[in-house]
Amino acid sequence: MKKINILEMEISTGWGGQEKRTIRLINNLDKKRFNIFYVAQPNSNIVKNKKEIMATLIPLKMRQSYDIKAIYNLCKIVKERKIDIISTHSGKDAWLGAIVGIIMNKKVVRVRHLQTPINSILSYNMSTKVVTVSKQVEKYLKQKGVKKEKLQTIYTGIDTNKFYPQTTDILRNELKLEKETIIIGIVAVLRGAKRHKDLIEAISKIDAKVKLIIVGDGPQLENIQKIIKEKNLQDKVIMLGHREDIDQILPSFDIFVLPSNMEALGTSILEASACAIPCVGSRVGGIPECIIDNKTGFLFENQNVNELKNVLEKLIFDKNLREEFGKNARILIEKTFSVKAMVIQTQNLYEELAK
């Protein structure tokens, strides 16, 4: 059986959820059926972390959507490597990939990872297929004019061998927290859209033995520190900054919260759910696809601090409910959001396109 040659493209130099999703997929594709080549910026974290990626890395400068030199070099790569399918992930590489696909007569899969507004649908409709990470993103693109037949949702897969329920309590021990203290956690970049301030406001209204653990770094660091100080919550809120051991500390949370204004899906919710942690999230974007309300956690109206406080209190004061939701959350991940499910659906798509 002839192998299918896939060319992944990523113009971003970062190392966030988008890049990690792509790498999880690459590493788990059946290497007996697929050869994977990965074009990335020479100064990118993808190239720096190439040892973690089971693909042939090809560093290539991609300056803009209509970079003639990059288009020429990409066409050359497609011809030399006998590429069957091009897969793109960001705005500019999507344009480059679509153009190269037309020139070289190759199938192009455009993966849309974000919920943010788009300015043009042209690069989407130029692609053969558009994969979205949630039904909400699919719905949005359809409303904007992306052709229905091109759209397909493939949920982000969580590594259930890395994120799983653990009896060890690493974070509680590190912070020397008493057993009866309820740990409420959030793992998110410190941006205004993540609405950390709503969570802090809700915590300030709760009369219980709780600690809010904020994991992450970002532009809102000083503002969040200021809010904590103004509300005199230094004893109730702990900021851990950026951590590389998220899979180790997540199982220590009793409750996970993501009160965002906008989320394409909510990967951090999925990771917490895989650890059997009940989750609370705002009713926006793809979050309602990650949390089954009143079964794996609670949804609340975005920016409604009182509703957030009320659902948190339900979980804080009911250990049995937390355990029930946590078990249901783990089952949901294994059934719908596993790496295995993501890989099977993607492989089926690639094989269909390669016919």
Query: Does residue 95 sit within a domain?
Result: yes
Regarding whether 134 and 245 lie in a shared domain, the answer is no
| Residue 187 shares a structural domain with residue 87 | no
The pLDDT tens digits for 219-232 are: 999 999 999 999 99
Model confidence at 167, pLDDT cuts 50, 70, 90, reads confident
Q: Which H or E element spans position 331?
A: helix 319-336
Is 101 within 8 Å of 7 (Cβ atoms)? no
pLDDT cut 70: percent of the chain above it: 100
Query: Does residue 168 carry a pLDDT above 90?
Result: no
pTM: 0.88
Residue whose token pair is 């009896």: 167
Same domain assignment for residues 86 and 232: no
Q: Are residues 330 and 343 in the same domain?
A: no
Q: Which domain holds residue 240?
A: 170-336
Q: Specify the DSSP element, H or E, that contains 59.
A: strand 56-59
In a domain, 161, yes or no: no
Instruction: Tell me: pLDDT of 112 over 90.
Output: yes
Instruction: Specify whether 287 is located in the same domain as 342.
Output: no
Q: Is residue 163 part of a domain?
A: no
pLDDT of residue 172: 93
Run of H or E residues at 268: helix 267-274
Average pLDDT for 316-334: 97
CATH of the domain at 191: 3.40.50.2000
119 and 223 share one domain: no
Q: Are residues 123 and 133 in the same domain?
A: yes
Residues 129 and 14 in one domain: yes
Average pLDDT value for residue range 274-288: 97
Considering the domain boundaries, does residue 164 fall inside one?
no
User: What is the pLDDT, as a whole number, of residue 1?
Assistant: 74
Same domain flag for 308 and 349: no
pLDDT, residue 59, reads 97
Classify residue 182: in a domain, yes or no.
yes
Same domain, 308 and 344: no
Q: Indicate if 87 and 178 belong to the same structural domain.
A: no
Looking at residue 16, its pLDDT comes to 83
The answer on 69 and 53 residing in a single domain is yes
**Residue 96 pLDDT level (bands cut at 50, 70, 90):** very high
* Confidence label for 17 from pLDDT (cuts 50, 70 and 90): confident
162 assigned to some structural domain? no
Give the total number of structural domains in the chain: 2
The C-alpha atoms of residue 311 and residue 226 are separated, in whole angstroms, by: 26
On the question of pLDDT at 147 being above 90, the answer is yes
pLDDT of residue 115 exceeding 90, the answer is no
Mean model confidence pLDDT for the chain: 96
Could you count the other beta carbons within 10 Å of the beta carbon of residue 178? 8
